[in-house]
Structure 1
Amino acid sequence: MPDVNTLDPANLHAIFKAYDVRGTVGDQIDEPLARRIGGAFVSITGAPTVVVGHDMRPSSPGLAAAFAEGAAGAGADVVMIGLASTDQLYFASGHLGHAGAMFTASHNPAAYNGIKMCRPGAAPIGAESGLMEIRDAVATEVVGEKTGTITETDVLADYADHLLSLAPVRGRRLKVVVDAGNGMAGLTAPAVFERLGDAVELIEMYFELDGTFPNHEANPIEPANLVDLQQRVLAEQADIGLAFDGDADRCFLVDERGALVSPSTLTALIAARELAREPGATIIHNLITSRSVEQVVAELGGTPVRTRVGHSFIKATMAETDAIFGGEHSGHFYFRDFWRADSGMLAALHAMAALASTERPLSDLMAEYVRFASSGEINSTVEDQSAVLATLEREWSAASGVAIDHLDGLTVSHEDWWFNVRASNTEPLLRLNAEGSDAATMERIRDDVLNVIRSDQ
């Protein structure tokens, strides 16, 4: 590989994204850069102590160690928690009261790595809350008046205990298939499930920690990566299947028939459980979750609040409204009692707890929350995104009975359907989500919008 300068401003602008740092190892991210980011992180946040975790990617331990050296060199004490899921790092940040840094590229392929950073209490750091200031501070090596200490601790047991205190699983015995995708759920799932004892029969899939992802990509939002789990659930006659992404902060469900459960449906279920615990509470949902979420929350006496896509917006709105729970259609679920952070494992425990408390199969339990037909997210490569959005708005604003808003991209709503089109933050893509009162309505709206989006392709 030719010599690279990861500190080049063009590279820094490329890898500092809206919510995290992410790029390919060697040419975009390396240990010297991680060391600089550690110093810059301490300089910008003023954190006296930083907790650092990492996933199972081959490059992660070295990058985490380099970040720790930079943070200590800037004067902060560093607490290393070693191998961890992202929600385990958030737990450590909240439980210990320290700022945090997690080395992971989540669901990205093996060549990638990255950093998710937070303030004490798992408060997010994104483009609008300090991340770009950290980027700009990387250019200058930060040297503190003293060198901080670097120590190690293990929070896995405390993490598992805390999750089970929030969503205990009691009732009938469940047969559960878990596909860890060779990601960090291979570490966290055993710690959680062993505490459930005979309440659950766990069937493991791809629990070996392997950042090369030898079986399939650890990205459960792609249907192809769920096929193995669906087949295993059917073969084992299991009650439920759980699929986690690489850093285990997202979870997707498969029911006993091998069918995928929409994250919007799981959002509605968890909202109902949280509202039973705290009647009248506020529930956050992003604007591409199913309309059924808003309906369920309102029917149960809660207050639904709609927000933009993205964890920093969800967390900020949760803080403003003291919401008890928030859900995104991408499989992220946020809990007030988990420092408003997202946890795929906690979402899974809620689903298991609801299932164990009834004799009904998961498909039947979830059916009451499935009220509309959804397209799922459809991506289209579009160079002039603004022009296409303007065309869509011009054509649809004349339609009868529609309302238009720009909370995040373009949303057009009708009594019987809605669609949202928004631009990607990092790629020349437009993302379409559509929903209708029935499949035929959804398909008509979906196809009409796609015809405009893809008219020049």
Structure 2
Amino acid sequence: MSKPITCFKAYDIRGELNTQLDEEVAYRIGFAFAKELSAQRVVVGGDVRLTSTPLKLALAAGLIEGGAAVTDIGMAGTEEIYFATTYLGVDGGIEVTASHNPINYNGMKLVKANSVPISGDTGLNAIKEAAQALSDDEVNQRMAYYTDGVTIDKEAFFNGKAHIKEGLLQSTGRYECKSCLNSYVAHVLSYVNLNNFTPLKIVANAGNGAAGKVLDAIESALKEKGVPIEFIKVHHQPDGTFPNGIPNPLLPENRADTAQAVVENNADFGIAWDGDFDRCFLFDAQGNFIEGYYIVGLLARAFLDKDNKAKIIYDPRVCWNTEDIVTTAGGTPIKCKTGHAFIKERMRKEDAVYGGEMSAHHYFRDFAYCDSGMIPWLLVAELLCTKHQTLAEMVKARIAAFPSSGEINSTLKDADAALERVMKKYQPEAEVIEEIDGLGLEFGTWRFNLRKSNTEPVIRLNVESRNDIPLMKEKTAELLAVIRDE
């Protein structure tokens, strides 16, 4: 390729449309994926973005030219690709998605057989090199067949008008469209006992992303089984123009619509998803956002209630609440570096039943060790019914026992220098020094974790204490002053 491919990141593919990622790059990725994995069958899907279908079809063309047969499951969330890859027993899966990135971006998430993630050192770099190695003439010649001789127009591509022809893909005899939705829904519902459910009213905000279609299918299955759950749907219809903004409930400014709907409808709790719904975010009956950290503890306890010897994986940014819950129940807490590739690898190694990150990624052994944004809220809904408590009641004591700052980002001129300042001030007094992921220091009644971003000059801080909110706030302010003292 005459110019370098720059959309490959450490764990996935993300890039600005037309400058970093377009149909030609997608074709190259598909061809390289099939060749590098010697893949015979690959499943593909895409989120609701206007460019996801053009990219997916170009990706499919590359896969076919690389020797793979393609099963297209249509508009889907990332976890549907994880499910389909394992369920169909294929050699790999690719979801076209930019999740919560700006509208002028798109990307891909890739897995091998059995939904094992592909990251930089486990195949992603090799795919990039193989994609880069294809000559421009070779790619243009091959793509011309699938575009029926029509020159690809960049502006039309950006507006979501596919140029790779689905009919021409089908004419190869190596492309099929197939839905796995019903089997996927049956699987996620298997994590709960539907007989445990009492009447619930739940606000569900799909953010105009891919979650709405799946929620409708879950709702139909629940109604068929007589489960008394009423859904209040917000921003429900899939819409690649994102009229209500890019769905990213991790940002405080994106939570108001869900919180307001919970209060106005007197709901039991609320759910909001990101664009490809591999993360879900929960709100209590008063519309208060529940930090993902405390949901990790809640779900860990749900699994330990069924098997008190289970192993639970968690990330080191904030951890005391999770460790206390797991050890008290008799389970084994296992700390792991942040990031889906690390969590999934460690879960497979330990055969852990569940893994959770404070960022609202929740992983399940029986879901091919992958993350799901649908299983967590189902488990929480069941807990509300069996524990006869509200969501606020279930987390209130835990928040008081282990208050945390939430993740605070600082954009700096020199992140390394900030880390050195913190080390110099705090390391001499630390009782525990941990470098599993960034710098983790413990001081008996409080602790903090400080991590540098891999891609930008940003430092991420998390502080927690033992039953002492004023101390947590004091130390947070103190640390931020040191970090930002440039």
Partner of 1:41: 33
Amino acid at match of 2:377: A
Q: Does 1:392 align with 2:422?
A: yes
Unaligned runs of 5+ in 1: none
Give the TM-score normalised by structure 1.
Answer: 0.94
Any idea what SS the aligned residue of 1:319 has? helix
Cα distance in 2 for partners of 1:281, 1:66 equals 43
1:122-177 deviation line (CA, Å, top 9, x unaligned):
1101122111111111123399xxx7711110011111011001223433110000
Aligned length: 445
Contact 1:289 1:328 in 2 (8 A): no
Amino acid at match of 1:295: D
Cα distance in 2 for partners of 1:120, 1:25 equals 29
Given the alignment, which residue of 380, 405, 408 partners 1:378?
A: 408
Q: Does 1:93 align with 2:119?
A: no
Partner of 2:123: 130
| 1:88 Cα deviation from its structure 2 partner | 0.9
1:341-384 deviation line (CA, Å, top 9, x unaligned):
00010111111111122432221122343321111111111232
Given the alignment, which residue of 164, 183, 190 partners 2:209?
A: 183
Larger Rg: 2
Cα distance in 2 for partners of 1:368, 1:290 equals 16
Cα distance in 2 for partners of 1:449, 1:369 equals 24
Percent identity (aligned)? 40
Please identify runs of 4+ aligned residues in structure 1 that moved more than 4 A. none
1:164-191 deviation line (CA, Å, top 9, x unaligned):
0122343311000001001111111111
Unaligned runs of 5+ in 2: 139-171
Partner of 1:8: 3
Give the TM-score normalised by structure 2.
Answer: 0.89
Any idea what SS the aligned residue of 1:128 has? helix
Amino acid at match of 1:240: F
Any idea what SS the aligned residue of 1:212 has? coil
Cα distance in 2 for partners of 1:217, 1:43 equals 34
After superposition, residues 228-243 of structure 1 pair within 5 angstroms as 228-243=257-272
Any idea what SS the aligned residue of 2:103 has? coil
Given the alignment, which residue of 332, 356, 368 partners 1:303?
A: 332
Amino acid at match of 1:292: N
| 1:24 Cα deviation from its structure 2 partner | 1.4
Partner of 1:225: 254
Amino acid at match of 2:206: A
Partner of 1:257: 286
After superposition, residues 47-62 of structure 1 pair within 5 angstroms as 47-62=39-54
Any idea what SS the aligned residue of 1:167 has? coil
| 1:393 Cα deviation from its structure 2 partner | 1.1
Partner of 1:140: 133
Partner of 2:69: 77
Contact 2:29 2:62 in 1 (8 A): yes
Given the alignment, which residue of 104, 107, 111 partners 1:111?
A: 104
Distance 1:280 1:124, change over 3 A: same
Cα distance in 1 for partners of 2:115, 2:174 equals 22
Cα distance in 1 for partners of 2:413, 2:15 equals 22
Any idea what SS the aligned residue of 1:41 has? helix
Contact 1:296 1:369 in 2 (8 A): no
Q: In angstroms, what is the RMSD of aligned CA positions?
A: 1.6
Cα distance in 2 for partners of 1:423, 1:358 equals 40
Amino acid at match of 1:264: Y
Contact 1:55 1:103 in 2 (8 A): yes
| 1:43 Cα deviation from its structure 2 partner | 1.6
Q: Does 1:318 align with 2:318?
A: no
Any idea what SS the aligned residue of 2:338 has? coil
| 1:17 Cα deviation from its structure 2 partner | 1.0
Any idea what SS the aligned residue of 1:102 has? strand
Cα distance in 2 for partners of 1:191, 1:109 equals 28
